[in-house]
Amino acid sequence: MSATTVYLETFGCQMNELDSELVRGQLSTLGYTFSDNPDAAQIVLFNTCSVREHAESKVYSRIGIVSRRKLAGENILLGVLGCMAERDGLALLQRYPQVDIMCGPGELDKLPALIDAARRSDTATAADRTALAGNRTRRSAALSAVQDDLENLDLSRAFDPVVAGRNSFAAQVRITRGCNKFCTYCVVPNTRGAEVHRPPDHIIDECRKLADAGALEITLLGQTVNHYRYEHGAAVTISGREAPQIGPGLAAFRTGIPVGKRVTTFAQLLRRIHDEVPAIARLRFVTSYPRDFGRDILETMRDCPRICRYLHAPAQSGSDRILKLMNRGYTRGEYEAFAAEALEILPDATIAGDFIVGFPTETDEDFEASCDMVRKLPFKNNFIFKYSPRPGTVAIDRFKDDISNEVKKFRNNVLLNLQTQTSARVHATWIGRTVDVLIEEVCTQRDAQPAIGGVELRWETKAAKMQPAPTTLRGRTGGDLIVSMDTPQGANPSDFVGQIMPVLLQRGSALLLHGAFTTGLVVPQSRSISAAQL
C-alpha cells in the first residue's frame, strides 16, 4: 500500500510554525509523507490562528474549499489544529461537519491517535476525533500528565531538516508555552493555556542537536519569552528528569530568587546556551514583554557576542489610559525607560514591536500618543493591527467595540506611514557600516501570494507560483535588518544561501537595505565563505 500523503498549512505565529514542524516530524516517523500540493493529499491539516478575526476567516475559506471537494466525493480527511480548534471547540465541528479532526495546540501529541480513529472507523464519535484542553490547564497549579506528554512531542522532534520540513540553517526552540498575562484583547492565554517553562537541560540538549544538524541560527520562542524562569528541585519529574513547570506568580519576580532555591533565569538560560552550544552563530528570542526586561538580560546580551541584539518588545499603545485598559502593566514612560536602558547597554540593538489601533474608547488624543511614540523611538519596524474583538477575552465582555472600521483603517494607515518614515531613518543610520548577513534566499523582486478565492476549488501553492530566480540574494542581520545583495558575477546564487557573510551596507529604503559583499570581518570563520572563494 502506498504511503498516505499529508498537506499541512500553517497560519499565525512562529509558535504555530514550530508546532507544525513537530507534527510533521511525528507523522513522518509513522510513515506519512508530505506534499505542498493539497490536491495530492489524502489528509489536509490546517494549523490555525485565532488572534484576530481575519486570521480565522482565511481558515474558514480553506475549510470551505476542502469541504466542497469532500462533498464532491473526494476521500479526504480534514483536520483543524491549533488555536482556532481550541477557541471554537465543538461549535466548529457542528458548523462544519466535514471537519474530521480537531486538535488544540496543547494536545498535538495526540494527533496520530486522532487520525487513526478517524481513518479506521466511520463510526468514530466526535470525542474520538477531538482533543482540546478546554480550561483544564488553568484548573490546577500542578502540571497534569497531559502536559508531560506534550513535552514529549518537543523531546522527540526530528532534527533532520528534510524530515522536519524547515531550513537547515535556522531553527526554533520553545522555552515556554502558554501565557499568564491576560492582556484584555488577547485570546492566547485561553488557547495556549497557562504559562509553562521547560527545563533548561531539555532546551540546551535540543539546541545542541539542532546545531549538530546544521542550524546556524536558533530562535527561542515564548509568548513572553523573557519571563522564563525555572526553579530546580520541584517535585514533578518525568522518570527522574526535570519536567516542565507552571510559571511562578509575579511575586517571584519582585522578590528575586528565594533563599535555598536554585533558579535558572532567562538571562542565565541565554548565557548557558551561548556558552554550551558554541556552534550556534546566532541566538535570538521572541516575543519579549517590555516589563520583564531586566538589566541582567541586557547585560548578558552585551557580554555574549552571538546573542542577537534584536528586541521585539511590543508597546501596543502610547496612551497610558489605553495601556491600562489593555492590562499591559506598564506606562509609556516605563516603555521609553526600557528602550533607553536597552540602547545604553546595547547601542547597536534594534527595537521592534506591535501596535493595536482602534482599541475600544481610543480617542484622537490616545491615538496621537501612539503616533508620537512611533515618531520618537527608533523602532526598526512595528506590526500594526486593527483591534479585533475576540470571543473569550475580557475586552469583548467589558468594552463595546466602538471605533468604526473606517477610523481603525485610517489610524492603521497613519501609523504605518509614520513607521515607514521611522524605519527609513533607522535604516539610514546603518549605511556605510559592514554587518554580517545570514543569507536566506535567492529572491524574486516580488513575493508571490497564494491565490485564494472563496469560489475556487483549488489553490496554487506559493512554491508553484514562484518565478524563475534572478540573482538577488536576501538575508538578515543579527538585528533583523533585511538586506539584499547582488550575487557576485560568475557565482551561483544558491551556493550563498545558509551562509553568514560580511556585507557593506550602501543604500536603503524603509523596507530594505542594499549592500555588497566585502572582505571584512567574518563571524564565525568556519561557517562563512571567505572572500577568496567568491
What is the separation, in whole angstroms, between the first and last Cα of the chain? 48
Strand partners, 103: 81, 131
Binding to ligand F3S in span 344-403, by CB under 6 A: none
Contact with ligand SF4 (CB under 6 A): which of 143, 158, 183, 481?
183
- Burial class of 375 by CB neighbour count within 10 A (0 to 12, 13 to 18, 19+): middle
Q: Taking the complex as a whole, how short is the minimal distance between the CB of residue 144 and ligand SF4, in angstroms?
A: 21
Nearer of residues 44 and 186 to ligand SF4, judged by Cβ: 186
Contact with ligand F3S (CB under 6 A): which of 51, 59, 108, 483?
51
Return the one option of ligand SF4, ligand SAH, ligand F3S, none that residue 385 interacts with (CB less than 5 to 8 A, by type). ligand SAH
Q: Give the span between the Cα atoms of 21 and 509, in whole angstroms.
A: 34
Does residue 220 touch ligand SAH according to CB under 6 A? no
Does residue 26 touch ligand F3S according to CB under 6 A? no
| CA angle centred on 513, ends 507 and 514, rounded to 5° | 60
Question: Which of 517, 521, 511, 523 lies closest to 496 in space, CA to CA?
Answer: 517
**Residue corresponding to grid cell 546573542:** 307
Question: Which of 490, 486, 489, 491 lies closest to 504 in space, CA to CA?
Answer: 486
C-alpha cell of 132? 482540546
Q: Taking the complex as a whole, how short is the minimal distance between the CB of residue 534 and ligand SAH, in angstroms?
A: 40
Is the distance from CB of 295 to CB of 341 less than 8 angstroms? Answer: yes
Query: What character string, x for contact with ligand SAH (CB under 6 A) and - otherwise, covers 238-267?
Result: ------------------------------
Return the one option of ligand F3S, ligand SAH, ligand SF4, none that residue 387 interacts with (CB less than 5 to 8 A, by type). ligand SAH
Q: Give the span between the Cα atoms of 63 and 70, in whole angstroms.
A: 10
Contact with ligand SF4 (CB under 6 A): which of 16, 130, 223, 265?
223
Q: Taking the complex as a whole, how short is the minimal distance between the CB of residue 181 and ligand F3S, in angstroms?
A: 13
Give SS3 for 252: helix
Is the distance from CB of 473 to CB of 496 less than 8 angstroms? Answer: yes
Does residue 383 touch ligand SF4 according to CB under 6 A? no
The DSSP code for 146 is: H
> Distance from CA of residue 503 to its chain's centroid?
27
Return the one option of ligand SF4, ligand SAH, ligand F3S, none that residue 503 interacts with (CB less than 5 to 8 A, by type). none
What counts of helices (H) and strands (E) characterise the chain? 18, 24
Nearer of residues 52 and 177 to ligand SAH, judged by Cβ: 52
Query: What character string, x for contact with ligand SAH (CB under 6 A) and - otherwise, covers 349-388?
Result: -----x-x----------------------------x-xx
Nearer of residues 59 and 326 to ligand SF4, judged by Cβ: 326
Binding to ligand SF4 in span 277-306, by CB under 6 A: 289
Return the one option of ligand SAH, ligand SF4, ligand F3S, none that residue 182 interacts with (CB less than 5 to 8 A, by type). ligand SF4
Nearer of residues 49 and 349 to ligand SAH, judged by Cβ: 49
CA neighbours closer than 13 Å in the CB half-sphere of residue 33: 9
Question: In whole angstroms, how far apart are CA 71 and each of 64, 99, 457?
Answer: 10, 12, 12
Does residue 191 touch ligand F3S according to CB under 6 A? yes
Does residue 12 touch ligand F3S according to CB under 6 A? yes
Q: Give the span between the Cα atoms of 155 and 201, in whole angstroms.
A: 11
Is the distance from CB of 393 to CB of 51 less than 8 angstroms? Answer: no
C-alpha cell of 304? 555574549
Query: What character string, x for contact with ligand F3S (CB under 6 A) and - otherwise, covers 163-182?
Result: --------------------
Contact with ligand F3S (CB under 6 A): which of 177, 192, 197, 328?
192
- The residue ranges that bind ligand SAH (CB under 6 A) are 51-52, 185-186, 188, 223-224, 287, 314, 316, 354, 356, 385, 387-388, 390
Q: What residues make contact with ligand F3S under the rule CB under 6 A?
A: 12-13, 15-16, 49-51, 82-83, 187-188, 191-192
